[in-house]
Amino acid sequence: METEHIDSQPRQKFVVLKASANYGAIYGLVLIANNLIIYLFEIKPTNPVVQILGILIMMGGLILGTWHFRKNTEEPKVSYGRAYSISFLTVLFGTIIFAVYYFIFLKFIDPTVIDQMLTVQENAIMNRYPDMSQAQIDKILEQQRKFMTPAAMAIWTVVGVAFWTAVLSLITSIFLRKRDKSNILQ
């Protein structure tokens, strides 16, 4: 009996990784499609509708992957930790796919996007601090430009999304775990 449990652990990890990777790929493709729509229709990323849509896509990615795993697993229960792992890994895989696309997009497809972001930042600084000299603004933008390379933007996308996914997964996993119905005391 104990041998079965030990042998099944690697298989369970594989099943979790496979489900997360599959739904992560779907999530990543949806992120790419969303980004392309925003780009092609010249919608401002600061538009509240775009930001809400981004949050909804993230929530959909982590819920869909976990929900599918929960519905299709033969296990009598999916623990909170397992639900958390699946939702986090799903979005992490998708975000890595998106980050690769985003790097390619910023480096080769439209490198002017970073300059456009810096122009938006410059206008925001000028509006918020109207007494600031152009030399001071240029110094701030020079510092920001160092962190706004295609590689840095892709890496910070993964880091930022990983943080918010960790937080959202803590919440959604409460609702997406599957309790063993044969044990009412759980």
pLDDT of residue 13: 84
In a domain, 73, yes or no: yes
- Give the span between the Cα atoms of 135 and 122, in whole angstroms: 12
Residue 92, pLDDT above cutoff 90: yes
All residues at 6 or more sequence positions from 29 whose CB lies less than 8 Å from its CB, including other chains = 94, 97
Residue 174 vs residues 52, 61, 110, 179: alpha-carbon distances, Å? 22, 16, 41, 11
Phi/psi for 79 (5° steps) reads -65, 165
The H or E element containing residue 79 is none
Cα separations in angstroms, 35 against 2, 31, 108, 133, 183: 49, 6, 15, 35, 46
95 compared with 181, residue with greater pLDDT: 95
- Whether residue 9 is predicted with pLDDT greater than 50 in this model: the reply is yes
Q: What are phi and psi of 178, to 5 degrees?
A: -125, 120
Nearest partner of 171 among 83, 108, 46, 90, judged by Cα:
83
Q: Is residue 50 part of a domain?
A: yes
Residue 40 included in any domain = yes
Q: Do the domain assignments include residue 114?
A: no
Least confident of 10-14, 123-127, 142-146, 175-179: 10-14
pLDDT band at 85; cut points 50, 70, 90: very high
Q: Which residue has the higher pLDDT, 139 or 46?
A: 139
What local confidence, expressed as pLDDT, does residue 3 receive? Answer: 45
SS3 101: helix
pLDDT of residue 182: 67
146 inside domain: no
- The confidence score (pLDDT) of residue 113 equals 94
For 34, the domain range is 2-108+154-176
For residue 118, pLDDT beyond 90:
yes
Q: In this predicted structure, what is the pLDDT of residue 185?
A: 55
Asked whether 45 and 37 are in contact (CB, 8 A), the reply is no
Cα separations in angstroms, 176 against 43, 63, 67, 79, 86: 34, 8, 6, 9, 10
pLDDT of residue 72: 86
Q: Is residue 95 part of a domain?
A: yes
Number of folded domains that form the chain: 1
Q: For residue 88, what are the CA distances in angstroms to 46, 68, 119, 142, 164?
A: 25, 14, 34, 35, 10
- Examine the pLDDT at 2 and tell me if it is beyond 60: no
Can you give the pLDDT at residue 61?
92
Does residue 36 fall inside a structural domain?
yes
Q: What is the pLDDT confidence band of residue 137, given thresholds at 50, 70 and 90? A: very high
In a domain, 137, yes or no: no
Let me know: does 163 contact 50? Beta carbons within 8 Å: no
